[in-house]
Amino acid sequence: MVSKTVSESDFNPAIAAWSGPLGLPDFASIEDRDFEAAFAAALPAHLAEIEAIANNPEEPTLENTIVAMETAGELLTRASSIFWNLSGANTNDTVQALERKLSPELSRHRSAIMMNRALFGRIDTFYQKRESLGLDAEADRVLELTWKSFVRSGAKLDETDQTRLAAINERLATLGTAFSQNVLADERDYALVLETNEDLAGLPDFVVSSMNAAAEERGHTGKYAVTLSRSIIEPFLTFSERRDLRETAFNAWVARGEGPGERDNRPLVAEMVKLRAEKAALLGYDSFAHFKLDDTMAKTPENVRSLLETVWEKARDRAGGEADELSKLIAAEGKNHKVAPWDWRHYAEKARAARYEFNEAEVKPYLQLEKMIEAAFHTAGKLFGLSFREHENLRSYHADVRVFEVLDASGKRIAIFLGDYFARPSKRSGAWMSDFQEQHKLAGDRNDESQIPIILNVMNFAKAPPGKPVLITMDDARTLFHEFGHALHGILSDVTYPSISGTSVARDFVELPSQLYEHWLTVPEVLQRFAVHHKTGEAIPQSLLDKMRAAEKFNKGFANVEFTSSALVDMAFHALNPEQAANIDPMVFQADVLAAIDMPETIVMRHATPHFGHVFSGDGYSASYYSYMWSGVLDADAFQAFKEAGDSFDPALAEKLRHYIYSSGGSMDPEDAYVGFRGELPSPDALLEKEGFPVSR
C-alpha cells in the first residue's frame, strides 16, 4: 500500500495501483511523462517513512525496524520497477532525459538513508544483541545483511567522509548512466546497409532474412542491414565471404563507446576507476576489488586471479593451436593474409565443418525460437512441476512482449513471466532477467500476504520476415535457457523478506542457476522433442546431434581467451589504489594488461573497456565479471550430480535443487546453499573438464 503521506492526485495513480490483468501495471494508462511526478512524490514519502523508523522512541525490534524498512517505500519501488525496465528495454529521449536526472537523485536518496545515524543506531543496537533474540535463521540472515550493507555504505564514517562518499556515489551514478546511453546510441545508429548479391556472398538464408527485416525496420526497403545486435553481427562475421565487409562491421562492433565528443566513454571510465578506488579507501579497503569481493564466495582478488590465471594459460595455449589451424585454411584457399579478429569466426566455422562435418547453418533450421521457448518451459515442468499459460493480446509495455501465468503442480498461480525476445533500436543490446515485482511474504497491510513475482526476460533476437519462423543459433538457444534460469531463480523464490528475494545473492553465486539451466538444453529428451525442422516438422537427426556433441569443445580456446581477458582487465582496473588510479588512460591501461598476459593478436576482448557495460554501466559486475567463471565451476559440478544419478530429471535431486539453489534467495550463505545441494564445494577441475582443458590430477 502506498504511504498515506502521499496524495495520489500528485501523480498518475496507475503507477502505484497496478490494475492491469494478472496484477500487472496498466501500461496503457501510463505515459513517459508521468514518471517525473511519481518520483517527485515517492522520494520524500520514502524518506518520511525512514525518519519515522529512525526516530521511533520504542526499543528496536524486528517488526519496528527491520520489517518496517523492508516494507517502506512501496511507491518508489513500483515507480522504479516500471521506469528502469523501460529504460533498458524500450527507451526514448524522454525516458533517457529523466534517467540522467534520476540517477544522481536516487544516489543521494540512498546515501541519505544509509548514512542516517539514528537509523543505523537502531539497527546496530538490534544487531549487537542478535544472539539473544531467538530469531529464526532467515530473520537472522536479513539482520546480518542489513547491518553489513549499512557499514559498507558508510554508516560508520565521520561526517566529512560521509559527505565525500555520498558525492562519489552520486557522480558514479551519473557516469554509469552516461556510459550506458552512449553505447546504446552507437548501437542504435549503426547499420551497414547492403544491396547486391555480391554483398551477401556466403550468407545462409536465415542471416539474409534477418538482415532484410532489420533494414526494413530502418526504412531501407529491399535492402539488407548488418546491425550491432549479436544475433546479426555474429552470424554475419561467421558466414560472410566478403572479408572487406567483415572488417568494416567488426571494427564498428568493437568501437562502440568510442564515439566523438560526449559519446566517448573513455574519459568516463578513467573517472569511474579513480572514484571507485577513492570510495574503497574511504571504507577501509586496499582497492575497489577488495571492497566488492569482501561479501562474495571468492572473498579476495587473489582467489579470483588464481582461478582466472589457471584458465588463461590453458585457453591461450589452446587458442594458439586453433589459430594455426585457421591459418592453414586461409592458405588452402590461396590467400596470404594472417588471421585477423574479423576472420576468426569465419574460418573457425569452416574448420568445424571440415573436422566434424558440422556447421551452424546445418542445425539452425531445427532451432525455432517458439520451440526453444517451449523447451525451456518443458524443462521447468519436468524439474519443478511448473506450467505456463500464455495470455495473448494482453498489453504490456511493448507489442512484442508476451505474458504468461506460471502455475505450480497444483494449478496455483505462483508468478507472472514476461518474455521480450526481439531486438529493436529502443532496447539496449544483450540479454538479461529483471523483475517488475519480487516475491516476498510481507505484502499485506498486516504483513500476512504473499506477493508473487513478476519476472521479465529480455533478449535481442533478430525478427524474421512476416509469416516466417524465427530461427536462432545454438548460442542463442543457450542464451534463452541461461536467462530463463535466472527467471526461475525469481519465479521459484520462497522467502519472507524482499531484500533477500530471488536473485538477491552474492554476485559470484547469481550465475549458478542460469548457467546450470543451460545444461538441460542439450539433454537428448529436450533437443529431440523440440529441435524440429521448421518446414518438415522432423526431429533433429541423431547423426546431426552426434556431430554437434563431438564439436562441443571446438573453439574453446578462443571463447575462453575472449572472456578471461575481459575478466582480467576488469580485475586490473579495480585492483588499483587511489594513487595508481589517479590519472590513467583506460586504453593504454587495457593495452598494458593485455600485453602482460600475452594476449593473442588474433582475438579481442569479448567486451572492450569503452563498451564493457557489465562493469561500467553501474557497478553491478565491476570487479566481478569473473563471476561467470566462478559460477561455471559450480554449474559444471552441479549438473554432474544428475549425470551420476543417471537421470537428468532425477526427482530427489530436482527437489534439493529447488530448495537450496532456486528458492532460497539470499536466505543462506551461498557456500551453505551449495553444500546443502551437493554435499561439498567443487574444485576448478569440473570447469576445466567441461571446457575440454587438461586437468592436473
By C-alpha distance, which of 423, 424, 437 is closest to 84? 437
Tell me which of 74, 483, 511, 691 is the catalytic residue.
Answer: 483
> Is 600 in a helix, a strand, or coil?
coil
CA distances for 468 relative to 210, 400, 434, 539, angstroms: 11, 16, 29, 19
Burial class (CB in 10 A: 0-12, 13-18, 19+), 416: buried
Residue 660 per-residue DSSP state:
I
Give CA 1 to chain center in angstroms: 30
53/127 Cα distance (integer angstroms): 16
Q: Which set of grid coordinates corresponds to residue 40? A: 517527485
| Residue 403 DSSP one-character state | E
Burial (0-12, 13-18, 19+ Cβ within 10 Å), 627? buried
Q: Which three cell numbers stand for residue 270?
A: 578513467
Task: Please list, residue by residue across 659-696, b when 16 or more beta carbons sit within 10 angstroms of its beta carbon and e when fewer do.
Answer: ebbbbbbbbbebeebbeebbeeebebbbbbebbebeee
Strands 413-422 vs 402-407: parallel, antiparallel or unpaired = antiparallel
**Residues paired with residue 390 on neighbouring β-strands, in sequence order:** 404
Q: Would you call 483 a catalytic residue per the annotation?
A: yes
Q: What letter represents residue 626's amino acid?
A: Y
C-alpha cell, 35: 514518471
List, as one string, the DSSP characters of 478-527: HHHHHHHHHHHHHHT---S-GGGSTT-S-TTTTTHHHHHHHGGGGSHHHH
Active site residues: 483
